Structure 1
Amino acid sequence: MTPEQLTGQSQQHIAFIEGNIGLHQQVVAPWQALQAAAAKDGFNLQIVSGFRSFERQLGIFNAKLTGQRPVLDINNCQVAMDSLTVEQQIHSVLLYSALPGASRHHWGTDIDVFDPDLLDGLKLQLEPWEYAGGGPMAPLNDWLNSNIEAFGFYKPYAKYQGGVAPEPWHLSYRPLAAQFEQQLTLDLLRTCLDNHAINACDEIVNLLPSILTRYVKITA
């Protein structure tokens, strides 16, 4: 992977399988195999979000850091950002939204999944309760937990480890994601951020070592 591909500034490694849903070219076949296995067991496994570009992630991140979009805490309560230090603001945003250039969605190896047939008229929120016991996605979540490993996938954010909030819908294709984690270095990420208008850039650069280990490089 080139530095541009690793940081979401290029999509040359991406295959768009339907609409704007993109996957790394080498993830298409494993994904389709997983999807077919789910179908055999009665699940309509679909992708909510696949590849995400740097610019799209930058827009989300900046909007949250500047108060244009709400920021939630681990209990889904809105955070009073103006009462926090800049460092606290950055970590509050990172709880749910990846740093531009460091999002695993840039790689095309990571996807958010659901089954639209289980919603029964509800609107998907991508919140943990939907995938927990009693939630509409609970049957799918149980199936995923039992089957994804056989197809090379795992859940990097299955539980809260002091970084990203639990995301039971987030799957990562381990064989490639593990490689790309190693390729995403501090120097590469610093260069990327220095070339873009990201809010609180100086503070973020100072925090990069901890951001990488706490939010990105967490292969189990």
Structure 2
Amino acid sequence: MNEFWSSFLANYALSTSACIACGVNESALVAFTKQYVHRHIVADLSALSSAAKAAGFDFAIASAYRSFWRQKAIWNNKFHGHRAVYDQAQQQVDLSALSELEKVHAIMLFSALPGGSRHHFGSDLDVYARNLIPAGQRLQLEPWEYEAGGYLAEFNDWLNEHLADFGFYRPYDRYRGGVAAEPWHISHRAVADSLAPEQSIAAIATTLERSDVAGKETILQHLPALYETYIVNVAT
């Protein structure tokens, strides 16, 4: 571990596993096709990718590991209105009409709290089939793309049938009152299950307290409820 991470861990007084789970330690990561993932998912991810390609899909990763700081940038831009926030009907939300807590709930429908994202684990990825994206179109990562009639529907059906064969599953397979359904989001069950308990309320709070996350005081005040609604409220 380099000097930066050693100093960071000392300042945060969190275990290495907790720092990994909250996206502030990258020591478990390795490169995989221009992305970074947890080293313990590489064999299964390679097998999944190869099987998808054999089935006619150009398996691609839109997003894999995301650090705390990257998630914070996304969060702050949304909180301050510099980046659009959408509801489940894909209609843009007018954040100016909302209280801070209402903003937090609106953002967490599709974007995780910094320190509380499963993308911090390196086990979770947003995936698609590059060869199914029509010419001139850009991947949106919206549910309709993966649903019947969407151009990724065939790939979605293949994932439904084969993900478990390679140790993966969908934590956001449906809306449970927290995070919206995300058919593009897959998770390596064994690695994610080992890190999820380390991403505790205390670990997230410690990480947030030492950052400039927008709406931090409101988040910390309501963190236990947010944690139960959005962070651990996933498929098992």
Q: Structure 2-normalised TM-score?
A: 0.90
Which secondary structure state, in structure 2, belongs to the residue aligned with residue 126 of structure 1? coil
Gaps of 5+ in 2: 1-15
Which secondary structure state, in structure 2, belongs to the residue aligned with residue 27 of structure 1? helix
Gaps of 5+ in 1: none
- Deviation, 1:3, is 2.4
- Deviation, 1:120, is 2.2
Matched, 1:28 2:42: yes
Query: Residue 143 of structure 2 corresponds to which residue in structure 1?
Result: 128
Deviations 1:157-177 (A, max 9, x none): 111111111110000011111
Matched, 1:177 2:192: yes
Q: Distance in 2 between matches of 1:158 and 1:131?
A: 12
Aligned residues: 219
- Deviation, 1:219, is 4.0
Which secondary structure state, in structure 2, belongs to the residue aligned with residue 52 of structure 1? coil
Q: Distance in 2 between matches of 1:198 and 1:120?
A: 37
Matched, 1:193 2:208: yes
- Deviation, 1:22, is 0.9
Which secondary structure state, in structure 2, belongs to the residue aligned with residue 60 of structure 1? helix
- Conserved 8 A contact 2:29-2:36: yes
Query: Residue 86 of structure 1 corresponds to which residue in structure 2?
Result: 100
- Deviation, 1:18, is 2.2
Matched ranges for 1:68-107 at <5 A = 68-107=82-121
What residue identity is the alignment partner of 2:97?
S
Which secondary structure state, in structure 1, belongs to the residue aligned with residue 125 of structure 2? strand
- Deviation, 1:212, is 1.9
Matched, 1:64 2:73: no
Which secondary structure state, in structure 1, belongs to the residue aligned with residue 115 of structure 2? coil
Moved over 3 A (4+): none
Deviations 1:101-120 (A, max 9, x none): 11100000100000110012
Which secondary structure state, in structure 2, belongs to the residue aligned with residue 2 of structure 1? helix
RMSD: 1.1
- Conserved 8 A contact 2:172-2:235: no
Q: Distance in 2 between matches of 1:37 and 1:91?
A: 38
Q: Distance in 1 between matches of 2:43 and 2:150?
A: 29
Which secondary structure state, in structure 1, belongs to the residue aligned with residue 40 of structure 2? coil
Identity percentage over the alignment? 38
What residue identity is the alignment partner of 1:58?
K
